[in-house]
Every structure is written in structure tokens, then in C-alpha cells.
């Protein structure tokens, strides 16, 4: 059995410490070169290219005239999915909907900034969005609800879902069920870079959208980057990553369970247990082989590739302050705090897509049932970006109104600004020429 990577932070050089912060998507060069021809094929050939790439990349029996999921597909999905699972999806979607309804801003606010001078903002939904739901290493109805529910709550007129087809050429049944429960009827069999190109340009079947959201492989991330001038690529959401941070009050065996959570997504994931306790580190390392024995072979392979490789394992620090500093530098997608008093650390934890506090708040619950969005910024984007939410489906428009009396107060200063910056027309617009035009 391969050995779990253990890093003692105090012993690392600056270069070795920096290497621990690297993610699989840090270097997209090889993917960018390969994605270009895929994008061009979809732009010129449309559905025919989607079907061909479905056969070549997804090993799926896809026809160019059957890219869209049909009403019969939805009916078959509801018949195929266990009613117990449908109930789970209903409860999860209800929690996600409630959270995002609470997140909705005022439709408009308008304030008198000073006498006769009014300003505010109006919030309106974007016209369309494509929700990308990955499938390569499993089926993810959870991504459907995390991307589609806030779109529906925000009032997007045309939300659609794109997702890779399965070997039978169809869409995962639970994905179709979740789509309908979320309020989305349009689902298309188009994954990978070709799916991003389809919604960027539009095809005979797949509508062109103004934005695409959702997590994906480096192929998807590369396509979003290349097509950023054609479609808003949405918040960055690449391969999964997580940090479990634990102090000396934590249970190492429980921490190990949560460490494995994101490591099983795929070999391009990243996952660390960061702890100031050698006991916690040793307990976790000793427990992991037992937990691997309770997993399927494919997921064990993914997990071992991460935890025994260069982008995962256990990081041992000398103090909790040092552990928190590492977390803030890493800016993880998911962060879980294992401690008897987890709220004590909340103020010091600055950079993370989500912070789950305590040993009874595992990432698995955050991913599926809690309510906050689990599509989170990756690859250090949590330094500046937020989780996916209704704000990603809304745009703000500034609103202003100035009365005649208010204009008289602002115009002289605006005139001076315009003259300073050398804009003659700006200055004329707030000069005596305006008074003359009004006949004042």
C-alpha cells in the first residue's frame, strides 16, 4: 500500500512550501493547446461535432439529432430513480432553495444622497445561463441543484443544463430528476470543452448562452478561458480541493474520514489535513487504510493518487497559528475545522470558499444537504471570489436622478472636474450652455 505524504512545515524550504500550494489547474498550457481545435470544430460543425466528440471522448452512442433530452427521457428517469432517492433530492433542493431565496437582494434601492440628488441600484436577472454538470468520474445531481436552483430563484428566463452523455448516449437519470425538481426543463448531452463551445457559439440544438457556471476538469477550465470573450465563464471552479484543519483537541480518525472526502473525486484533486498535533496526524494516517478498505477500487485509486502524491497528504505545523497561516495562503475550496471550539478560529480564517465548523459538519453534508452553495472557487480564487450564488445570475444597474435644485449644487464641481481632465464636451454639458439650451 502506498505511503501517505506527510510534510513537516518547519522542515520545508520556501520552494517546497510553495509547491504544496499548487493545484492541477495551475498549468493549463497542455490543455489550452488541445482545446482550440475542439472549439473550432464545434463552431463550424455544431451538433455533428458534439455527437462525434461524444463518441470519441465519452465513448457514448450520441447522434447529432438527439443532443437534447426529451420528455420521454425525463419520464424514464423518474421511473428509474428510487423514490427514496427522489425524496432525498427534494429535501436537499428545498434547503438549497431556501438558502438562495434568503440571499436574494432587494429588487431596487434608491436613496437621497443629499437634497435633490438621488442614487441607487436595480437588480435584474441575466437572460440565459448554461449550468455545467460533470460526469466523467461519476454522476452529480448535486451539481444540478447547486447551479440550477439559484438560477431559477434569481429569475433567469432561460436556464439550461449541459452534461456529458453516458455510455448509452443518455443523461444520468438522477441528473434529469434533479433538473426538473430544480425547475429546469432543457438538458443537453454536451460535456467537456465541446459543451462549453456549444453554449458559447450555439448550435442548431443547443442555445447560445451569455454565461456558463459549474465545476469541471482542466479541459473545461481551459475552454472557458479560451472562450471568455464569447461567454462569461462564471466563477472559477476546477478540480476539487479541500483542507481539514485540526487542533490538538481533534479526533484524528474522524479528521481522516473528512480528509478522504474530496480526495476521491479524481487524481487531479487536492486534499490536506493540516494540524499542529502530531497525535492527530498519526491517528489519521493509521486510520486511512481502514477507510480505503471500505471504498471501491476506483475511488481508492483516486484517493491514493492525491494523498500519496504531490498535492495531498498531511501537513504538520508547530502551532495552530502556523496552520491557519498555511490555510489562508492555500485559500481552499472547502475548509473544515476540527476542534472542540471551532468558532475560536473563525475570525483568523480569511480565505476559503466555505468554512464548515466542527466535527459534525463534514464536507459531505455541505456538498449535499446544508443549503449554501457547494460550487466554490478553486485554485486560490477564494482569495478574491465568492461561492456560486444568486448574485452570479443577477446584474446590477445603477440608477440616478437629480432635480433642478440638485443639479445647481453638483454642476459647478462637475464643471471643474471636466476642465481638469481636459474634456470639453463634459464641461459644456454642465456650463451656462445648458442653461441657454433650457432658455433659462
* C-alpha atoms less than 13 angstroms from C-alpha of 235 in its C-beta half-sphere: 26
Phi, psi of 393 (to 5 degrees): -110, 5
- Cα–Cα distance between 334 and 373 in angstroms, integer? 11
Active site residue 360: no
296's CB contacts (< 8 A; 6+ apart) are none
First to last CA, the chain: 88
- Asked if residue 169 lies in contact with residue 189, where contact means CB atoms within 8 angstroms, the answer is yes
Residue 134, classed as helix, strand or coil, is coil
Pick the catalytic residue from 100, 334, 338, 354: 334
Pick the catalytic residue from 241, 262, 283, 333: 333
- 44: enclosing H helix or E strand: helix 29-45
Active site residue 333: yes
* Nearest CA-CA partner of 361 in 389, 328, 337: 337
99's CB contacts (< 8 A; 6+ apart) are 371, 372, 373
- Cα–Cα distance between 138 and 57 in angstroms, integer? 15
* Nearest CA-CA partner of 328 in 348, 306, 356: 348
- Asked if residue 324 lies in contact with residue 345, where contact means CB atoms within 8 angstroms, the answer is yes
| Residue count of the chain | 440
- Asked if residue 67 lies in contact with residue 190, where contact means CB atoms within 8 angstroms, the answer is yes
What is the set of active-site residues?
333-334
Amino acid at each position: 500500500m502506498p505511503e501517505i505524504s506527510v510534510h513537516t512545515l518547519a522542515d520545508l524550504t520556501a520552494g517546497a512550501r510553495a509547491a504544496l500550494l499548487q493545484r492541477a489547474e495551475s498549468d493549463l498550457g497542455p490543455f489550452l493547446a488541445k482545446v482550440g481545435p475542439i472549439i473550432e470544430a464545434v463552431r463550424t460543425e455544431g451538433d455533428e461535432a458534439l455527437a462525434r466528440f461524444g463518441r470519441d471522448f465519452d465513448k457514448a452512442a450520441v447522434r447529432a439529432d438527439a443532443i437534447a433530452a426529451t420528455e420521454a427521457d425525463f419520464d424514464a428517469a423518474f421511473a428509474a430513480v428510487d423514490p427514496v432517492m427522489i425524496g432525498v433530492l427534494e429535501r436537499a433542493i428545498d434547503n438549497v432553495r431556501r438558502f438562495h431565496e434568503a440571499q436574494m437582494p432587494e429588487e431596487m434601492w434608491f436613496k437621497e444622497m443629499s437634497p435633490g440628488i438621488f442614487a441607487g441600484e436595480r437588480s435584474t436577472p441575466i437572460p440565459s445561463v448554461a449550468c455545467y454538470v460533470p460526469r466523467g468520474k461519476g454522476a452529480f445531481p448535486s451539481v444540478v441543484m447547486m447551479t440550477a436552483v439559484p438560477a431559477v430563484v434569481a429569475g433567469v428566463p432561460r436556464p439550461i443544463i449541459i452534461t456529458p452523455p453516458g455510455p448509452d448516449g443518455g443523461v444520468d437519470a438522477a441528473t434529469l430528476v434533479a433538473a426538473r425538481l430544480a425547475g429546469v426543463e432543457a438538458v443537453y448531452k454536451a460535456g467537456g470543452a465541446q459543451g462549453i463551445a456549444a453554449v458559447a457559439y450555439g448550435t442548431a440544438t443547443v442555445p447560445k448562452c451569455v454565461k456558463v457556471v459549474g465545476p469541471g476538469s482542466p479541459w473545461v477550465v481551459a475552454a472557458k478561458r479560451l472562450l471568455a470573450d464569447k461567454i462569461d465563464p462564471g466563477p472559477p471552479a476546477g478540480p476539487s480541493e479541500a483542507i481539514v484543519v485540526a487542533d490538538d483537541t481533534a479526533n484524528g480518525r474522524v479528521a481522516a474520514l473528512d480528509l478522504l472526502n474530496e480526495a476521491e473525486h479524481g487524481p487531479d484533486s487536492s486534499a490536506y489535513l493540516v494540524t499542529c498535533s502530531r497525535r492527530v496526524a498519526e491517528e489519521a494516517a493509521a486510520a486511512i487504510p481502514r477507510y480505503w478498505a471500505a471504498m471501491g477500487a476506483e475511488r481508492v485509486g483516486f484517493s491514493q493518487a492525491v494523498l500519496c502524491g504531490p498535492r495531498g497528504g498531511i501537513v504538520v505545523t508547530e502551532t495552530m497559528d502556523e496552520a491557519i497561516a498555511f490555510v489562508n495562503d492555500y485559500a481552499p475550496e472547502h475548509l473544515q475545522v476540527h476542534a472542540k471550539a471551532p468558532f475560536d478560529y473563525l475570525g483568523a480564517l480569511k480565505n476559503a470558499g466555505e468554512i464548515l465548523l466542527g466535527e459534525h459538519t463534514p464536507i459531505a453534508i455541505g456538498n449535499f444537504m446544508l443549503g449554501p452553495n457547494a460550487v466554490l472557487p478553486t485554485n486560490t480564487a477564494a482569495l478574491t471570489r465568492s461561492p456560486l450564488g444568486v448574485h452570479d445570475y443577477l446584474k446590477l444597474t445603477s440608477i440616478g436622478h437629480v432635480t433642478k435644485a440638485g443639479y445647481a449644487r453638483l454642476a459647478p464641481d462637475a464643471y471643474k472636474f471636466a476642465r481638469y481632465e481636459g474634456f470639453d464636451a463634459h464641461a459644456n454639458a454642465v456650463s451656462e450652455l445648458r442653461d441657454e439650451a433650457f432658455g433659462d
